[in-house]
Amino acid sequence: MADQIKIMILSGVREQGKDMFAVQVNDEIFVLDAGLKYPDSSLFGIDVVIPDLDFFAQYGDRVVGIFLTHGHADSIGALPYILRKYDIPVFGSKLTIELAKITVKRENKHCKNSLFHVIDADTEIDFKNANISFFHTTHSIPESLGIDVHTPAGEVVYTGDFKFDPSAAPHYRTDMDRLAEIEEKGVLALLSDSSNAESSFPNASEQDIGEYVTSVFRNATGRIIVASKASNLNRVQEVLNAADATGKRVLLTGRDVGKIVRTAMKLGYLKVPKGLLMRVKDLKNTPDNKTVILETGQMGEPLNSLQKMAKKRHSMITIHKGDLVFIVTTPSHAVETMVAQTSDMVYRAGGTVIQLGKDKHTSGHATGRDLQLLIDTIKPKFLIPVIGEYRLLEVHKDLAIKAGIKKDNIFITKNGDCLDYDFKKKRFYLSDPVPGEDTMIDGSGVGDVGNIVLRDREVLSDDGIFIAVVTIDRKKKKIISEPQVTSRGFVYIKANHQLMRDSIEVIKKAINNNFEHKKFDWTELKKDVRNDLEKFLYKKTNRRPVVLPVVMEVNQNRHRAMQKTQ
């Protein structure tokens, strides 16, 4: 049988987060990352969004493993929902696997530990059709790895989230020698991070950022309340270092502290000097100018906690005059408004705010020059920009053309695209798509909220709901009791008595018209009530609430039985 190579874009392009890609070599599929993304304001009530699980229903018997680049949610967040149904081996560095286990067991306590396999940058795994190896990359979490899939046509390289920083600490440093070794083998295709492609300014080195954080700590005269993502361990370490250097003590708070930060401490990826950490009861006896409160969590969780502190609703901490709130994680576009609102609340409570991202150009992702440096280092024949919104993929493409890659050898893809390799023509071409839709998680429901439900939620959020309840006797063709009407999110009922009374008359008229001119049908009756109410309410208010008619029928048999008993 002739060799077959496919690159599948399962998720993670034309969007931010939810990274998941796959390489198929003959009858084996290697899945690269399995992440989630947090919803924007248009996804009403949705907790998180993950890739299309139908892929595993169709191709799960060919998937030999899921290979993780690092321990952030955009890389590991979908694992709980995949492993709930499919026993697929998972490979990652020691810290990544520990964080993956925490993530999975939060949703599925019975997941088998035997599915998780610890690898490192020196690991090579031989499968029937391909060889998988890894290389160190620089990101905001230790032991981040890129993945190299050795195929009969050359190397397929996936970077995951990465950047270049020669001053990075050992656990964060990119292995340039290993990249040169991969280049010598001949790189067929590169799937490369595009998140920060627009940036023309170099990222500040982590050494510079560490010195900046220490300077902020040294100049603070009161308490310092630091907001950070728990998984940004590089930044957490810099905060701990700054506190130690300035003689302050640190209180760890936040939902994920005990899981992510303490796991990293246990594994030795966070260095915490003895006596640096304190407990809540120590706050009273520690001077304000010696106190650092490190509030961590996912996405917007630290900001939510800051808002509670500013409003005096937090269980432990209240922001008061003299406090400095230090936001050390560069916010994504999705939470920039929330950062502004939080800052306003802090100032109202008497505190002040410093944002690291405003004073220093910092990101865990490669700048445009970094992307060109990677291309120049490993010299791929084909480039597939991934991990980023559409404009970022296009910017990445332009950068790659300037770096020497042919325009026709760059593929701007969408979720679900499948690139097949033609060994004779030595080119990739688009073939039949694979599942690439969003799977939305709402509470315990996985994928049970679709576009129709979201559209209903959007309508409800716009103009509310109007409920009409009426009881009829269809045999006598009459209304038994006065219709009852109520609304939520439509109008203030106490100020609109006349509107409510008039709507009752509309309901009566619609039902009586139905009795007189139509053969009785429940669906038709409800439709008439709904249509007439919608027209009436729009005419009076210029609003279109969701109209929900509830029509009940008198139980005739029950009445007869009561009469006989009497």
- Kindly report the CATH number that applies to the domain delimited by 464-553: 3.10.20.580
Measure the CA–CA gap between 328 and 351, rounded to whole angstroms: 16
Measure the CA–CA gap between 443 and 160, rounded to whole angstroms: 29
Task: Please report, in tens digits, the pLDDT of each residue of the chain (566 residues total).
Answer: 568 999 999 999 999 889 999 999 999 999 999 999 887 655 555 678 899 999 999 999 999 999 999 999 999 999 999 998 899 999 999 999 999 998 898 777 777 889 999 999 999 999 999 999 999 999 989 999 999 999 999 999 999 999 999 888 888 999 999 999 999 999 999 999 999 999 888 888 888 999 999 999 999 999 999 998 888 899 999 999 999 999 999 999 876 676 788 888 889 899 998 999 999 899 989 999 999 999 887 656 788 889 999 999 888 899 999 999 999 987 666 677 888 999 999 999 999 999 998 888 888 899 999 999 999 999 999 999 999 999 999 999 999 999 999 999 999 999 999 999 999 999 999 999 999 998 877 654 565 555 555 556 666 666 788 899 999 887 888 888 889 998 888 887 778 889 999 999 999 999 888 888 777 787 888 889 999 999 999 998 888 888 889 888 876 555 444 444 44
Look up residue 403 and give its DSSP letter: T
Secondary-structure class of domain 206-359 per CATH: alpha beta
Secondary-structure class of domain 5-200+363-446 per CATH: alpha beta
Give every CB contact of residue 226 below 8 A, 6+ residues apart in sequence. 239, 292, 293, 294, 295, 326, 327, 328
Domain definitions of the chain by residue range: 5-200+363-446, 206-359, 464-553
Look up residue 93 and give its DSSP letter: -
Model's pTM, two decimal places? 0.82
352 labelled as ligand-binding? no
486 labelled as ligand-binding? no
> Measured on CA atoms in the order 332, 338, 343, 346, is the torsion positive or negative?
negative
Measure the CA–CA gap between 395 and 200, rounded to whole angstroms: 11
Q: Which DSSP string corresponds to 439-492?
A: EEEETTEES---HHHHHHHHHHHHH-EEEEEEEEETTTTEE-S--EEEEESS--
Give every CB contact of residue 122 below 8 A, 6+ residues apart in sequence. none
* Nearest Cα to Cα of residue 55 among 17, 25, 27, 22: 22
DSSP H helices in 77-124 = 79-83, 94-107
Per residue in 81-139, pLDDT (tens digit) is 999 889 999 999 999 999 999 889 877 777 788 999 999 999 999 999 999 999 999 99
Q: Where are the beta strands (DSSP E) in 339-463?
A: 352-355, 382-386, 418-422, 427-430, 439-442, 445-446
503 labelled as ligand-binding? no
Per residue in 48-72, pLDDT (tens digit) is 889 999 999 999 999 999 999 999 9
**Cβ atoms within 10 Å of 146's Cβ, excluding its own:** 30
268 labelled as ligand-binding? no
Measure the CA–CA gap between 283 and 279, rounded to whole angstroms: 7
The SS3 of residue 249 is strand
* Backbone torsions φ then ψ of 206, nearest 5 degrees: -65, -25
110 labelled as ligand-binding? no
Look up residue 438 and give its DSSP letter: -
